[in-house]
Every structure is written in structure tokens, then in C-alpha cells.
Structure 1
Amino acid sequence: MITDFNNSLSLVNISTSVITIRNNTSEVRIGDDVIVDIDLYNGEGERTTRGGDMLRVWLKEPSRHASVSGYVIDHDNGSYTGVVKAMWAGNPELMFSIANTKEHIGIFMNIVHKYGLIKFLRARFMKGNLTEITLCSIIPNIPDVTDYCNFTTQNFNFSFFCGKPKHMNLDCKDWVLYAASSNYSCNTKNKSLMRNRYIRKKVGVVNVLTGSGNTGESDIPCHDVSSYLTWHTSNPTGYFYNDTWRSLICKPSISWKYESYDKCLKNRPVLITGDSTTRNWYVPLTKLLNLTISDGRHEIKDAAWQKFAEAENNEKALSLYWTPHEIPFYGSERTEQNKNNFRSIASRIDDLPGQKSVILILHWYAHLARTTPQQYREHVTSAKLAVVRLLKRSPDSKILVKGPHSYTHDYFVEPFDYTSRIYIQILYEEFKDLQHRVYFIDQWDATIANENFNIHPEASLDPIMVNFAFSFICK
């Protein structure tokens, strides 16, 4: 595995690399594949002879508010083939970017396997007037720390270790508060390499003609699509046109209206798990249903929003809940919160009632992209076993797994194109025996197509994707 690099000129470079449309074909019909030949060169103009870099291709036509993502085949010799399907008549631009270099991926993975996290967390220990802060990780290997508190049991058997307080009158049992830290486990040189430098390049303009070409846009209502199919789709799963997401899997079975959701969710408890991206699904859904969110009403009362949330109307038999996933979870570096805000997703699922048609949406990504794939798998496996228990006591329940989404903000150091691919594969493997009961909601294609930059997808996309997800279980 790559553990270092010489200098930035030794890395593949978008300016020196050669990207061309195969056979100079600039005219295609709707439904045709646009084939892109890619040969990567480094900053010194030398052709690379190894694969492993993560690349993107997509089409976009801003005047039509249209875009579609493609995929790239790695030939493991420095050459790649991009494929993107023409989905509308017009003159879209063919776009290309180097998302993650192999050096970025290798160095990142080496660091997280050594230290557990790319960015450490922190704990505050308190007793009386005494207080002390120490760094934390999922393995006991933190620079300059020799003595550790093992909080694995408190973290629902997910490994978690913090430096032991040095003050003689403070001990591990005095851990009270939890927060993100500003301390990275990588050095300055590597952090500079891994900062996401999202550089895109226009390859050319494609003239897409109408004709016998078929976009494959589905007329099948999502409610009539089997959950198994959602795990076995191909790129693209949809495209944007006139700022509207057009799914190639199915068409929405429900309208984004109060009456539709009031009818569908009556007497069906909804639990949405994850992070701020699923919180951004939860909030517009509660607003649509005229529900008021209460954070920590029956649990922890502090300033942090990352806690169990409830929104209920007993008269209408509506009950919607949201909860953050377990530690590692990166809240604010400025705001500390009660460590008990974080419970395992499995424990939350086990709290759901029996003999009910429960709706459960699961999600793990951005926070766990800062750790190892094995840690990610452990979190998914724990929740999956709880899903099995839920389906035994509430067999009419509906389960959906929200997949990773793309974001390219230059603050982050994680190789997201690589981790997303690994994590989607883990989700597929862990839920393989439940794919006939559990839906997979792909978010990658849409957020590649619309060039999503921030950690959260555009707010306008949230109701669209919530409605698409609920279309599988409502009509």
C-alpha cells in the first residue's frame, strides 16, 4: 500500500492527461453511450503505468438544468474508459475530473488503519471543579498518549478509547462530555495532498439527437418495484432534466403533499437514523405534516441537536423519530455535548414496537468515512441483526438503506469516491440475505450529476429524494 509520495508533480495531473471522445464522435442519439478514452499523465508529463485513481465523467447542460453521471473502467495500466449515457436531446458538455489519486487513497487508508481515525475525537472528564480534555479514537494508538480509558462497553461494544486523565483525582469514570477535535492523525504534507482539490475539465460538447434511442425512463410505479431490484441497478439510476430527477428505476408513487403522507404514515412509526443528511430528510417531512420537533424531550437536555428527536400527533396517529448513529460521530468542535446522546442504532431499533408496520430508514457515511471499512462494517452488521429482530416482531415493517452521496468540499481529506464504493459494497454484502425485504436508495448518481459540493446535498434535492424513497412504501 502507498504510504508516501515524492511531490505534487509525481501525481496524476488533469492538465497533462489526455481525455478524448472515442473516434471523435460528437454526434449521438438519445440512449447512446458516449465513450471516453482516458490516459493519465503526471505533473511532469510522464505517462502513468498503474491504475487505482478514481475518476469521474458526466454530461451537463446548464441551460436545460440537465445532467447525468457516468462511470469509469480502470484498465490497471494508467488507461481508463469512461462511459456516460446521453439522456436528452441537446448539446451537453462532457465533463471529467480526477476525484482521488491512488496516493491519496493509499496514504489515507494506511493512516486510518494505524490510528483508527483520520481526525481524532475528544472527551472531557469532570469532577467537582476539576476538568480535563483528552483525545479519543477507535483504537488505543494516539500520539503522546500512553494510558487509555477503554469505553468500548459504553459505546455499545463498538471500540472506543480515550486518553486517561493525567490529574490524579480524575479517572475514566469521570467522562461526561464528548466533541469533535481539530487534531488530525496525518502530517501537514499528507493533509495538503488529501485536501479535496476538485478540478474538473470540459472535454467537449456532444450533439444529442432525437430518434429511436430510448432513455429507459421507467413508467413502473416505485410501489410495484421489488426491494431486490433496488440493489441490482446499473448506472445511471436516473438523470436531471428541468431540475427534476427522472428515475430510470421507477416513477414516484406518492405526491409531496400533506394528504398523501398523512394517509401513508398513519399508525406507522417512522424512525430515520444517521447524521445531518438524514436530519435534512426528517425536517422537511415533519414540516409537511405540520409536526413540531422535540429534541431530547425524554432524554438528554443540552444545546446539541445531535440527539434523539421526536415529532408526534397522537390524534392523527403520526409519529416520526430521528436519531444519530453511534460514535464515531463528529459534531461541532466548539460545542461539547453529553456523551449519552449517542446510542447504538441497534438499540433504537430494538425500542420500536412489535406488531406495527414500522418504517425504518438507515444511513451511515460521512462520519464513518473517517475510519476503517472494518469499523463501518461492524456498525452496519449490528443494525442489520436488529432489523432481523424487528421483522420477526413486526413483519409488515418497511426498511430502507440510504446510500452515500457525493461531496467535493476542499475542507475534507477523505477519498470519498473510494470510500463510497467500498461502503456500498459492504452494505450490499451485509444485507444480501435481506435484499428481498430491504430497499437500497442510491444517492451517488444524483449527487455526481448535479456536481454537489457541500457536505449536504442541495436543500432543494431533499424533498425530491425523500419522496422518491417513500414512493417504494406508499401509494
Structure 2
Amino acid sequence: MSLNVWKYILIILTLFGLIFLLPNITTEETWKYHIVSAIFKVQNRLQATNLSGTLQTFRNNHTFCSHLGKPLSHKEELEERKLLNSITWPQVPSGSEPLNLSQTSDPAHSLFTIVLSKKDQRWYVGDQLEVLVHLHDFQGRPKRYGGDFLLARLHSPKYKAGVAGQVLDHKNGLYSARFPLLWEGSAQVEVMMVHSSEAVAVLRRLREKLPHRVFFVSLFRRGLISETTACDTCLPQDQGPLCNYTDLRSGEPWYCYKPKKLDCDTRLDHARAGYLKNITTNSESLLFQSGVNIKVPIHANTTNTITVLQSRKENGGKKTDPVKLATSGYYYQDSWRPLGDVAMRKFDTPAAISQCLADKVVYMYGDSTVRQWYEYLVTVLPEMKEFNLHTPKKAGPLMAVDDNHNIVLNYRCHGPPIMYTTIMANELRYIANELDGLTGGPNTVVAISIWAHFSPFPGEVYIRRLRHIRTAVVRLLERAPGTVVVVRTGNPRALDRDVSLNHSDWFTLQLDIMLRAMFKGLNVMLLDAWQMCVAHHKPHDVHPPKVIVKNMVNMLLSYACRERTRKTA
């Protein structure tokens, strides 16, 4: 045969090979299309059911989630029950479910009144201010039950001052907001309805009945063959065989459906594929309207302003203890003033920060809200050089070094569920395991923030993760008592309808309550990001603005570089 004939045969064989391989080659856009399409088929099957009652709850669905990990000990069961009880929220009374929007809480028709001082109708530094909030519906009728989610703050634009208020639900449509008076001069009350009680009832139902409304996927690849399958903490076992990626050390469960043509060990990455859509009825959607009933201010009946005088010098009246009001601090001149045991120091210059962090290694673990601290320090320290590790900027790992001051900064995101970018599977780490790998000591600073990606999940999932982290923190402090550990709480964010259904501040507040309880009594600092954001005049954002981040980092540094009393023999 001539050379030309062989050339034609080779071309034909090559074409046949490409035709055979093309169905097995999946580009990034193609696999996303196919996997999301498959997920939406499951979504449509779920939506065909009665969303309000037929889906089993996550906690009691033992058949569906029988592989969720190690069984709890009796002590762990009691702790979990106590934590879940601590986030119990007043419910809409049975039989009082509104038929339409007009019967739900309306901030425009609601109002608040400043409760006058009993003695001389004056307020002094050290006193407590109380505000009474009256909730009404869209027809102006008073509400007769509680459960609305309110936020309150006392602030002064003149002094750039602010403090978060403590809201008490009287469960009859009335609420009290209480504030410690901490600065002299003018102060204004601000009350905001984040969600109506009826909207909270929808959020509760979504958390209990639709715990898997976020879709995760992994890409599997070997050579030119690629497949993508759904992943989660818990998957229906009747849809196909599973790949078990449960962490061997912590027992944190994670599963993916096994690819049809590839093995489980060919998993390449982890990503979020989207959210379950159309999870509320038309009438329920009206409860989540920006500018109408999501984060809308409630106006004062008469005035929202008071004047605070100098603190009383006589012993006639008792001063309010801000700690009893669970107030962790306040702003004055845009500077956070903590009311706890840690004295706030100002680190306004790179030299002051460098002096504090000299000879220290700082490990930051968690979500993007602690990555902000890493980015802030890298930006403000001119001698900090960031290594190019060729990793995603959002997920890391990230590392920066200041050779002159012997400072090392590290950031790594927490393990799944993590939602904000595609991450290589071999870079997924659990915080507990990372902590177990640290030597620790007085020159080691650990900052942890883990909350934002757990909002759509039931409380049990978050409790399990915090328990593993707490146990690892205890081990770290036992082998290296001088290690500095800071745990950042969650914070409110900007909300619209879609964000509310998966990442509402109501979810965050519940996580916040459990996190504080889990780490109570440990030798760690709980950095109160919630109050630091509620008290500030800047709009809520999942990623707080630089002025708040600076105050958070100053708190971190104040704790890391505090003067520690030496124990005498």
C-alpha cells in the first residue's frame, strides 16, 4: 500500500477515536450544565411534594442519614439537646397562620416608644435605657403574638458611637429593647425588623424540611474521561452507590455519588452547583420583600433621641452593669471599646502591629470573614511578602512572611460544606485536624471563623463541627497552654429574598448562640463580630467594611499581645 493510503487510514482511525472519546470528555461548562440539570430534576421531584409537611425532618430521618458518622455518647446527646433547646424561637400560634400578607407584621405600621425615667426623666451615663416596641400588621392592627426578629442599636453620628441593644420578646406583639448608656451627649435609638414572625416560621420550616437546598458537586477525572456527581453530608442511597469521603480522624461525613466509569479515588475538586429554587409558595414569597418586610426600620412614636448626662456622683442610683445586659462593647469615635477582660490597644501604625506580631506565627482557619483579617494584615504591613502558592485567592491556602520581624501569616479555608469557589479535593482540610498538627506555644496565634457556610444546614451539623474543633482546641491548649486562640462569631449581612431563604441573619443568630455556648469556659477569646457589626453605622455586609475589620484585628492583637500575669510558685 502506498504512503498516501496509510495516511488516509490513519486519519479515519483518528476520527473514529475522537467520535468514541468525545462523549466521555466533559468540559467545565458542559459538566456544570449536566449536573445542574440532574439536580434540578431531583428538585422538581421534591417540589411536587407538599413543602409544608410531608418531607421528613433532618434530625429524625434515620433511614436517609443512617451513615452520618459516629454515634453520639450520652454526654454529647445531652449537650446537643441543650444547645438545640437554647435556640428555641417563639412560634406562630397554632391556627393563627395568616391567610394573606395583610395579617403579617408590618414595620411601617409598627412603632416604638422610649420609656421615660421614673425619677427626673433624665438619663445619665451608667443608666439603662429601655424602649417598648409595638408590632402591627399591614392593616394597622396590633399583633397578639411574638416571634418577630428585631435588631436594635443606640448610636450617635456626632461621636461616631454605637452600642447594640438587647431585645426581649414578650410574646404578645410587644418587645423591649434595652441599652446601657455608655457615653455623654446625644444618642438616637434605631429599631429594625429583620423578619416578621411569619417569615421566621418559613425559615424554620426550610431548615427542618429542606436541609439539602444547597447543591455540591465534585469532578472526577482520569486521562480524557471526566464525570461529575452530586455530593453532600448526606445522600439518598437509593440513587446509586456512594463514595465515602468521611474524615477518618474527626468522623465528619461527606459523600459523593460514585461516577459510572471512574473510581472514587479519581475525585478532582469540590464546588457548589447552586441552590434549590422555588422553595416557597407565592404567599410565602411576599414575606421576603426588600424594602417592605426585610430589614426595614421601625419608627418612633414621638422621638428617637435622648440626651445623656454625666454619670451621677451621688450614690442614689445603681449603675447598669453592661455585662449583665450581655453587652461586649461599644464604639466611640469609630473605635471599639470592649467591656470584657481584654483591654483594647490601638495598633494604628505598621510598626505597632509588627512589634506585636514579631516572632509569631498566625494561623487563620475558616471562611472568608477571617480571610479578611489575613488580607488586612498583608495590606497594612509593607514588609509583608505574600508567597504565590498558585492556589485560589478565596480558598487558599495563603501564606505571607515578614523576614525582618519574623512574622508568618497563614490562611486556609475550612472543609466542606464550603461554597464560594472550586477547591481541589486534596486541599480540603478540617480545622480540627489542622489544630492537631500545630505545636503551639506563646508565639502561636490561632484565629477561627466558621459560620457563614453552615446557615442552610440543621443545627446538628453545626454542633458536630464545633464539637470537633472545640476538642482539638482543648488538646492544643493542654499541650501548649500559652497558645493564643481567638474564635470569631458570625455577623449580620445584607439580605434580599434569595439570600434570606438560605443565609438569613436569623440562621446566623442561631449559630451564634450555639457557638458561644460551645466555647464558654475555655481559655479562648470570643470576638463578638455580631455586636461589632450591629453597633456600627455601616450597612450590614457578610464581609464587614475595613473600619470594622480594623477594630476586629485590633482586638485580635490586643489579646495576642496582652500582658499576662506570671504565676508565682
Equivalent residue runs for 1:321-400 within 5 Å? 321-332=410-421, 336-353=422-439, 357-400=443-486
Question: What is the deviation of 1:136?
Answer: 3.2
Structure 2 contact 190–304 (Cα < 8 Å) conserved: no
Question: What is the deviation of 1:455?
Answer: 1.4
Distance 1:353 1:176, change over 3 A: same
Task: Say whether 1:422 aligns with 2:510.
Answer: yes
CA distance in 2, matches of 1:470, 1:186: 45
Question: What is the deviation of 1:85?
Answer: 3.1
Counterpart in the other structure of 1:225: none
Structure 1 stretch 256-265 or stretch 338-347: which is displaced more?
A: 256-265
Q: Paired residue for 1:285, among 364, 374, 377?
A: 377
Counterpart in the other structure of 1:305: 394
Distance 1:33 1:264, change over 3 A: same
Counterpart in the other structure of 1:157: 251
CA distance in 1, matches of 2:267, 2:126: 59
Q: Paired residue for 2:356, among 264, 270, 273?
A: 264
Deviations 1:372-422 (A, max 9, x none): 221111111111111122123322111111111122332522464433443
Structure 2 contact 247–253 (Cα < 8 Å) conserved: no
Structure 1 stretch 127-136 or stretch 391-400: which is displaced more?
A: 127-136
Distance 1:389 1:24, change over 3 A: closer
> Normalising by the residue count of structure 2, what TM-score does the alignment of the two structures yield?
0.70
Q: Secondary structure at the match of 1:370?
A: coil
Equivalent residue runs for 1:32-431 within 5 Å? 32-140=127-235, 146-147=239-240, 149-154=242-247, 157-165=251-259, 168-184=260-276, 187-189=279-281, 193-194=287-288, 197-203=294-300, 204-213=303-312, 234-249=325-340, 251-253=343-345, 255-289=347-381, 290-294=383-387, 297=389, 301-314=390-403, 316-332=405-421, 336-353=422-439, 357-410=443-496, 412-413=499-500, 414=502, 416-431=504-519
Distance 1:16 1:256, change over 3 A: same
Counterpart in the other structure of 2:32: none
Question: What is the deviation of 1:472?
Answer: 1.8
CA distance in 1, matches of 2:169, 2:242: 44
Structure holding more helix per residue:
2
Question: What is the deviation of 1:116?
Answer: 2.9
CA distance in 1, matches of 2:503, 2:122: 34
Deviations 1:339-383 (A, max 9, x none): 233200012112212556321111111111221221111111111
Counterpart in the other structure of 1:460: 547
Q: Paired residue for 2:528, among 438, 442, 451?
A: 442
Q: Secondary structure at the match of 1:471?
A: helix
Structure 1 contact 357–395 (Cα < 8 Å) conserved: no
Deviations 1:88-115 (A, max 9, x none): 3444332111123333333323323334
Distance 1:393 1:186, change over 3 A: farther
Structure 1 contact 254–474 (Cα < 8 Å) conserved: no
CA distance in 2, matches of 1:454, 1:119: 21
Tell me the C-alpha RMSD between the 2 structures. 3.1
Distance 1:305 1:392, change over 3 A: same
Structure holding more strand per residue:
1
Question: What is the deviation of 1:458?
Answer: 0.9
Deviations 1:115-137 (A, max 9, x none): 43442223223333333444433
Distance 1:278 1:148, change over 3 A: farther
Q: Secondary structure at the match of 1:460?
A: helix
Structure 1 contact 49–77 (Cα < 8 Å) conserved: yes
CA distance in 1, matches of 2:353, 2:269: 38
Question: What is the deviation of 1:312?
Answer: 2.3
Structure 1 contact 150–162 (Cα < 8 Å) conserved: yes
Question: What is the deviation of 1:318?
Answer: 1.7
Amino acid at match of 1:202: H
Unaligned runs of 5+ in 1: 215-229
Question: What is the deviation of 1:280?
Answer: 0.9
Question: What is the deviation of 1:466?
Answer: 0.6
Q: Percent identity?
A: 23
Structure 1 contact 114–141 (Cα < 8 Å) conserved: no
**Is the radius of gyration larger for structure 1 or structure 2?**
2
Structure 1 stretch 154-163 or stretch 278-287: which is displaced more?
A: 154-163
CA distance in 1, matches of 2:530, 2:364: 19
CA distance in 1, matches of 2:207, 2:412: 26
Deviations 1:232-259 (A, max 9, x none): 7744322223322233335424533333
Counterpart in the other structure of 2:55: none
Unaligned runs of 5+ in 2: 1-90, 314-321, 563-569
Question: What is the deviation of 1:44?
Answer: 3.5
Structure 2 contact 373–553 (Cα < 8 Å) conserved: yes
Structure 2 contact 447–486 (Cα < 8 Å) conserved: yes
Distance 1:175 1:110, change over 3 A: farther
Number of equivalenced pairs: 446
Counterpart in the other structure of 1:22: 115
Deviations 1:47-94 (A, max 9, x none): 332222221222233344332221111112222111123333444332
Counterpart in the other structure of 2:12: none
